[in-house]
Amino acid sequence: MPKIVLFFAIFLIVFGKCVGKLPEQDMNVPELVAYYGYPIETITTETPDGYFLVLHRIPFGKNATMTDERRPVIFLQHGLFGSSADWSTNVPAQSAAYVFADAGFDVWMGNVRGNVYSEKHRSFSRFSTKFWNFTFDDHAAIDLPVMVQTILNITKEDSLYYVGHSQGTAIMFAQGSENQPFAEKISAFFALAPVTTVAHIRGTAIMFAQGSENQPFAEKISAFFALAPVTTVAHIRGLMAFIGARFGSKMGKIIEIFGAYDFLPSGFFEKLFAYVICGEKWFKNPLCSNLLFQIAGPDSKDINMTRVMIYMDHTPAGSSTKNVVHWAQMVASGKFCKYDYGTKNQEFYGQPTAPEYNISKLRIPTYLYYSADDWLADPLDVEGNIIPKLNKTVLKESNHLGVYNHL
């Protein structure tokens, strides 16, 4: 095995030199932001259970200067396997982080426990199974409130605007509906590719799956913009649909196959895929493009195809196998529930089944953005399980966009 790994390492290095590289490749988020001429700050905060979370801040735009003038605060939260890079890897005119900064916002980008920027713990090594014992329940109940409060403490604001993508919407739906004091700190919630159920997931992603109760938190949010919002995934398509179909009744098999650590860690093999299989002409390589779009949905004319090598330098950014199991459970059940411990549910929750998040309790002004070509945040899930359940006074806009996939 070591010889095989060494062979691929040498092959990657040699082949990589034959592939044209953009100057931004191999840059981390602070380096990317600085490269484009924007101010950047890195803030680390600690959760009550010992995880160190990293926030990246662009306090003002490229052509502005730091003053005492108050700027509206906007918090951008990535999805599953994502990081703050999701908002900053495109050129400035195409990246949300820079667009908001130039529009006069104080921009903050979060990183939940377990991704490449938040992989430290006070007591556990990232090589310990204890470090990876989390799901998006923990992102919602612990990481999200800690990051929001850290931002408000530093900016001295009472509330902020929240933009979530995919899992970033799910954790706001979850915590915002369960914690009213938290919800009051959110001025508006913009949900991109919103997800709460994934019953209609499409494509090979279904294989993994089948094989709003805390109101104090909710009061901290001024508004919630849900991008590809997800609370159910009954109609999910693509790779996650395949996973759900294959392992839905055998969730333990996922952990058995992938281990109880990080799932798809950022590192060597993703770069091997990026450089060797894709290369700079990735969009002319059907093996590369078809695999990418089996995960997220059909090709989109709105994806900047010249920068896919940079995207793949940052994705996947890491998450736990247990979190993937949690999403697979939701593909199988079609419900927006907490992690299902099976026979141990009584021990964890005081009831035989995993509690379901009640998003009808959400009181944050919410704006939804979703698309028919999104195989993960399927319109059937959004229109069948999110829109009908949201309080009519909360849902401000529901925008069914054109041909956008999940990415």
Return the active site residues: 166, 374, 406
CB burial string 231-263: b at 16+ within 10 A, e below? bbbbbbbbbbbbbbbbbbeebeebbeebebbbb
Query: Helix/strand/coil (H, E, C) string of the chain?
Result: CHHHHHHHHHHHHHHHCCCCCCCCCCCCHHHHHHHCCCCCEEEEEECCCCEEEEEEEECCCCCCCCCCCCCCEEEEECCCCCCHHHHCCCCHHHCHHHHHHHCCCEEEECCCCCCCCCCEECCCCCCCCCCCCCCHHHHHHHHHHHHHHHHHHHHCCCCEEEEEECHHHHHHHHHHHHEHHHHCCEEEEEEECCEEEEEEEECCEHHHHCCCCCECCHHHCCEEEEECCEEEEEEEECHHHHHHHHHCCCHHHHHHHHCCCEECCCCHHHHHHHHHHHCCCHHHCHHHHHHHHHHHCCCCCCCCHHHHHHHHHHCCCCEEHHHHHHHHHHHHHCCCECCCCHHHHHHHHCCCCCCECCHHHCCCCEEEEEECCCCCCCHHHHHHHHCCCCCCCCEEEEEEECCCCCC
Using an 8 Å Cβ cutoff, are 105 and 136 in contact?
no
